[in-house]
Amino acid sequence: MACVVQKFGGTSVGNADRIKHVAERVVRTADEGRSVCVVVSAMGNATDELIELAARVSTRPHPRELDMLLTAGERIAMALLSMAIAELGREAISFTGSQAGILTDTAHGRARITEVRAHRVEEALQQGKIAIVAGFQGVSPEAHVTTLGRGGSDTTAVALAATLVAEACEIYTDVEGVYTADPRIVPLARKLNVLSHVEMLELSAAGARVLMVRAVEYARNYGIPIHVRSSFTDAPGTWVKKETETMEKAIISGIAHDSSEAKVTITGVPDRPGIAAQLFRTLATEGINVDMIVQNVASEGNTDISFTVPRGDLDSAEPVIDAVAKQIGARKVATDPDVAKISLVGAGMRTHPGVAAQMFETLAEAGINIEIISTSSIRISCVVRGDKIERAVRAVHDAFRLSEEFILEEVPSTSARDTG
């Protein structure tokens, strides 16, 4: 029987009525003759409330105990959903991450799935039951309960879809799919019908919050089609799947932006082999998550290195950066929390020169200064002043006419070569 994994986020199961609504949708899918494995997050703000409770008894909660605490959230949601489904006359059975065989490493709070042994889930599905699995959680080799970090439920869903050889992994959320830009900033943003795993990966990495990077990565590795859709309507959402020859060839898929990072610039760095390695190894060891890294060609034996870090980590990162800068003999460290990043993503840009130039021109015409540029074969990212980010997103969205359906084989007027 065809199998589908359906994942519902915290908003979708935010209260008893919404849980009943989700139950109806799940049962409808099962009634269509498919076997259904459901993955749920904790109800509404449950996770945040538990974190707040922890903060009231402990200044620095032990990661193992914090995971023990937080996993209560999905447990409640999954049991309630299971009951609500049974109420509709369908057999359902709920499983914790551990019971569902979600094996992880030992990194509490940000564990990675190492293996999925979903025997109990498979058995339940074979018996015609609907299986409900707690997202976000797993179990370490020492039998400690672990969590996968924010957005981990998406990864649970994709991992189960891979193990169960599901025909799709449906991610139900409070938006209708993946958009060409954040609709709160660009009212004319268009819902995408389909995009490739790689494009979604770049969008997620660049700040699109609809899907977490790790879930998309997992889906790409196992070739799992993801269907991002609204839990409040029946309209089809956005398919994220393997790139194929027949896939619509939009040059640009969409724009992502990220206002959560801060910029660090180290100037006067001696241009010697191994210097960058020393810097970023130290930051990695200290657990500081570095995103964009840009280094220019050296002049007069010195170079400048810029990178971005999550703004919340800046305070703890600064002393580490200062120390390592001193060690490598750099001249100066400057930090800047008031920045934001705009990224243009599209598999089509690989074969279309001029996209980067068009983006830079558009920003210049809007009076927005570009502080850092970084590109991949299907993405161009620019760091700009934080208070300019919304204007930047709107200007670039307009320039590439992303509100219109299918921009195929055509680049907006520009004669410049792509500088990316």
Give me the residues that bind a second copy (CB under 8 A), please.
Answer: 16, 19-20, 23, 50, 53-54, 56-59, 61-62, 64-66, 68-69, 71-73, 75-76, 78-84, 86-87, 92-94, 96, 99, 120, 143
Specify the residue, 51 or 293, whose C-beta has the smaller distance to a second copy.
51
201 SS3 class: helix
**Rg (Cα) of the chain, in Å, rounded?**
23
List all residues 6 or more positions away from 420 whose beta carbon is below 8 Å from its beta carbon.
Answer: 355, 356, 373, 375, 380
- Minimum CB separation of residue 59 from a second copy in Å reads 7
* Residue that the structure tokens 């935010």 belong to: 14
Q: Shortest approach of a second copy to residue 34 CB, angstroms? A: 22
Closest distance to a second copy from the beta carbon of 73 (Å):
8
Please, which residue, 54 or 373, has the CB nearer to a second copy?
A: 54
By C-beta, is 8 or 360 nearer to a second copy?
8
Minimum CB separation of residue 49 from a second copy in Å reads 10
Beta bridge partners of residue 375, listed in sequence order: 380
Amino acid at 93: I
State the nearest-atom distance from the C-beta of 155 to a second copy, in Å.
22
Least separation in angstroms between CB 118 and a second copy:
14
What does DSSP assign to residue 191?
B
d(CA 412, CA 381): 18
Whether the Cβ atoms of residue 13 and residue 73 lie closer than 8 Å to each other: no
If the CB atoms of residues 27 and 250 are measured against a second copy, the closer one turns out to be 27
Closest to 254 measured CA to CA, from 242, 240, 264: 240
137 or 173: CB nearest a second copy: 137
Tokens of 241: 């799947």
- 88 or 276: whose CB is closer to a second copy? 88
Q: How many angstroms separate the CA atoms of 11 and 22, rounded? A: 11
Q: According to DSSP H, which parts of 58-130 are helical?
A: 63-70, 72-87, 119-126
